[in-house]
Amino acid sequence: MSVLIFFIAAIGTLGAAIGVIALQKPFYSVLALAAHLVLLAALFLLLRAEWVAFAQVVVYAGAVMVLYIFVVQYVGDEASPLGQAPGRPVTFAAFACGIALVSELFVAVLGTGLKAVATDGAPYTPGFGTPGQIGTLLLTRFLAPFEIASYLLLVAAVGAVLLARRRRGLADGIEDDAPRISVAELLGPRPAGTGTMHEAGGSVSVADR
Amino acid sequence: MSIAWYLAVSALLFVIGAGGVLIRRNPLVILLCLEMMLNAANLALVGFSRMWGNGDGQIFALIVMVVAACEVTVGLGLVVAIHRRRLPIDVDEMRELQG
């Protein structure tokens, strides 16, 4: 049974991966990647990695793919051709590099000295890959990577907001620098109608200034 | 199924992703292909974790997922910034930094 599930999931995930790079419209590529991720989660389940499979479906196939679809719809979904022109040298070079890389990886996998690669893996212990085991590992042995990952997520979120924020003058295709605010401006009275606390409290009305 | 089968699937996925990065010109699709390559590495990590009967590889895979999420966030932010400047969404056109 597990052999059947493996082949269904493996062929499906490889087919969806080819779909990602072969489909013309980015929207269909995103949908193919979502299918690829769900089928990959099935492979993770076969490898007894329950929690990784769960995170894969919820975080990747759920959240990240929704983010992708938002951006694809925002940017516009024009089809992009697979290469610049038929017979584009880069495309041929890409195929040649791909074939070289896959043969190299297969030689590495099949010619490895690791005897256990040809087995089904170590004897299955109860609780392997469950949320309990992963949580224990994350909070004991891997506490430092866990904490650093949270800082990484924070920096990435702030960076993405900074990158994608609205800048002035974009309608003309001209990019202005961010407005410079001097210390004197900060200390002096603010311009009317900019939402100061005094205005909000009603002690200064906009019309007074 | 022996672990070698999973490693073979992982190698094929990695190569498909690498080929996609080389032949596609839309940065969105290139980001998708990067995701695929990271997932191929995840599959190999989880496979080795099963091989040793040890959870460490799965922790690696989870951390890789976090890094991939960060990469996607910044990459999509760049795509949105490119779009706002009315520049073409095409990596072959964006070559100002090319030496």
Contact residues on chain B for A96, CB-CB shorter than 8 A: none
Burial (0-12, 13-18, 19+ Cβ within 10 Å), A193: exposed
Q: Is B19 a member of any domain?
A: yes
State the CATH number of the domain containing residue A115: 1.20.120.1200
Contact residues on chain A for B1, CB-CB shorter than 8 A: 2-3, 6, 46, 120
Same domain, residue pair A27 and A87: yes
Q: Is B59 a member of any domain?
A: yes
CA neighbours closer than 13 Å in the CB half-sphere of residue B69? 24
Structure tokens at A7: 């082949």
Alpha-carbon gap, residue B9 to A42, rounded angstroms: 13
Q: Is B42 a member of any domain?
A: yes
Residues 48-67 of B with CB under 8 A from A: 49-56, 58-59, 61-63, 65-67
ipTM attached to this prediction: 0.91
- Tally the residues of chain B: 99
Same domain, residue pair A50 and A114: yes
Same domain, residue pair A60 and A17: yes
Last residue of a domain, one of A102, A128, A154: A128
Q: Is the pLDDT of residue A25 over 50?
A: yes
Contact A149 B63 (CB under 8 A): yes
State the CATH number of the domain containing residue B74: 1.10.287.3510
CA–CA min distance B93, chain A (Å):
11
Could you tell me the residue range of the domain that residue B48 belongs to? 3-84
Q: What share of chain A in percent tops pLDDT 70?
A: 76
Contact residues on chain B for A160, CB-CB shorter than 8 A: 73-74, 76-77
Same domain, residue pair A149 and A202: no
Q: Is B89 a member of any domain?
A: no
In 3D space, the residue among B81, B34, B47, B22 whose CA is nearest the CA of residue A17 turns out to be B34
User: Region A146-161: what's the mean pLDDT?
Assistant: 92
Same domain, residue pair A185 and A204: yes
Mutual orientation of helices A131-139 and A143-164 as an angle, nearest 10°?
90
CA–CA min distance B9, chain A (Å):
7
Q: Is B92 a member of any domain?
A: no
Same domain, residue pair A150 and A206: no
Q: Is the pLDDT of residue B2 over 70?
A: yes
Q: Which residue, chain included where needed, has tokens 């010619």? A: A111
Predicted TM-score (pTM) of the model is: 0.81
Could you tell me the residue range of the domain that residue A98 belongs to? 1-128
Q: Is B91 a member of any domain?
A: no
Same domain, residue pair A105 and A177: no
- Provide the domain count of chain A: 3
Alpha-carbon gap, residue A96 to A89, rounded angstroms: 11
Same domain, residue pair A135 and A206: no
> What one-letter code names the amino acid at A14?
L
Does any CB of chain A come closer than 8 Å to the CB of residue B47? yes
Alpha-carbon gap, residue A193 to A33, rounded angstroms: 47
> Over the stretch A83-132, which tens digit does the pLDDT of each residue have?
455 557 777 888 888 889 888 888 888 777 777 777 777 777 788 888 99
